[in-house]
Amino acid sequence: MKTRDLVHVALFAALVAALGLLPPLALPVIPVPITAQTLGVMLAGSTLGARKAGLSLLLFHLLVAAGLPLLSGGHGGLAVYPGPTGGFFVGFIPAAFVIGWLTERAWHRLSVPLAFAINVLGGIGVIYAVGIPWLAASAGLPLPKAAWGSLLFLPGDCVKAAFAASTAVTLKRAWPLIQPRRAAEPPAPRP
Amino acid sequence: MSLGLYVHRASPVHATPAGAKMLGLLGAAIALLLFSSPPVLATALATTLGLYALARLGPRELAFVLPLSAWVLLPLFLLQGVLSGWDTATRAVLRLAVLVLLAMLVSLTTRASDQLDTLQRALRPLARFGVSPARLGLLLALTLRFIPLVATWVHEVREAQRARGLEHHPLAVLVPLLVKTLRTADALAEAIDARGFDAEEPP
């Protein structure tokens, strides 16, 4: 890993933390406020690629576990983990990795709809897949009920995935960072 | 901006090494997940409150935990009471409350830097997989330095876009923020390399 990669890992961990310190973005169209932290997870994944994004979120968790109140709402410390929402935070790590991995694979034909699908799969699918069983186990809730309760956050998360997707595609043109896994192939024919 | 939850007191709980406290918390979490009968929970709650008294921490320091209880534990208690009975609800929420209180006790009585040192030591066996302690140290230091910096950038970019009437356009905020972040990363990496830091050091 080059120094530049180390700095990227540190900067994105800081970015996720800084987004947690922000007041939620209020949008004129949708009533659900957007807390920006999972947006940071999606941006890390689709900007840095699997390995660096996963490391970045791991680093973020080290700082939270050590007692820094970096999760949105000023939560932090080990108290976060036994809590009912602990799994959603832990899910940040595999989510960033999965988004990064899929983005690397789709790099040459990355479009906004494709990036949106990737961010939904990683940023919603993976985070909920870790968070919902954790919530069920930690609160003694049956799994289906825990899942229904989590649906409340789905609209906001979809909006975040859309923002992350458009940002990723714009950034691919402005400042590409991800090295595609395969050799360059001819651009996909336009539909 | 003061980061961290540590509150200083002269007490045996504060003096206990960070590693012991963190391992104890892990043990308590596993034990309570396995055995959560009412007598065990009552004993655990009493012990936890006793530890708070021993650490000379009062309700004022605990005020920080209250939002979490109000926003998460109370709705959970109501939801669960309606869905699966008040007995189960009381037991589950009590268990969570004990665990959250214990974890908060560790955070309140242990400096973040001590906990980070302990975690770094615990991660030392990872060196054989290429995670060197020097690089981990650099990463932690950089991140801690960057958090307030990135927060400032978020503010700056939003101000700049407000002047253009774009502050409600998330893309107009996110893209410049990321480009600024990445541009700084390049300059910083060059500066670190120029000072002779060897990122590729052997394990």
How far A24 CA lies from chain B's nearest CA (Å)?
Answer: 12
Please name every residue paired with B41 in a beta bridge, in sequence order, or none if there are none. none
Residues 12-71 of A with CB under 8 A from B: 12-15, 17-19, 21-22, 25, 27-28, 34, 39, 43, 47, 59-60, 62-63, 65-70
**What is the mean predicted confidence (pLDDT) over B12-27?**
86
What was the ipTM of the complex prediction?
A: 0.79
Say how far apart CA B182 and CA B7 lie, in whole Å: 36
Q: B116 and A63 in contact by Cβ < 8 A?
A: yes
Q: Decide if A182 is inside a domain.
A: no
Residues with Cβ within 8 Å of A179's Cβ and at least 6 positions away in sequence, in order, are: A49, A104
- For chain B, domain boundaries: 12-114, 132-195
Q: Which of A36, A35, A31, A179 lies closest to A103, judged by CA?
A: A179
Provide the residue type at A46 as one letter.
S
pLDDT (0 to 100) of residue A34: 56
Q: Decide if A189 is inside a domain.
A: no
Q: Decide if A42 is inside a domain.
A: yes
Provide the residue type at B39 as one letter.
P
Between A50 and B32, residue with greater pLDDT: A50
Where do we find the tokens 């689709």? A46
- The answer to whether residues A4 and A48 touch, using CB atoms and an 8 Å cutoff, is no
Give the H or E element holding residue A99.
helix A92-106
| Whether the predicted model's global pTM rises above the 0.90 cut | no
B45-100 pLDDT, tens digit per residue, is 999 889 988 888 887 777 766 666 666 677 778 877 777 778 878 887 888 888 88
Q: Residue A11 maps to which CATH number? A: 1.10.1760.20
How far A144 CA lies from chain B's nearest CA (Å)?
Answer: 12
Q: Which of A50, A57, A11 lies closest to B154, judged by CA?
A: A11
DSSP B60-100: HHHTTTHHHIIIIIHHHHHHHHHHH-HHHHHHHHHHHHHHH
| Least CB–CB distance from B5: residue in A13, A34, A77 | A77
Q: Decide if A190 is inside a domain.
A: no
A110-139 pLDDT, tens digit per residue, is 888 999 999 999 999 999 999 999 888 887
Residues 67-96 of A with CB under 8 A from B: 67-70, 73, 75-85
Domain range for A97 = 3-174
- The answer to whether residues A60 and A96 touch, using CB atoms and an 8 Å cutoff, is no
- Neighbouring CB atoms inside 10 A of A163's CB total 22
Total number of domains constituting chain A:
1
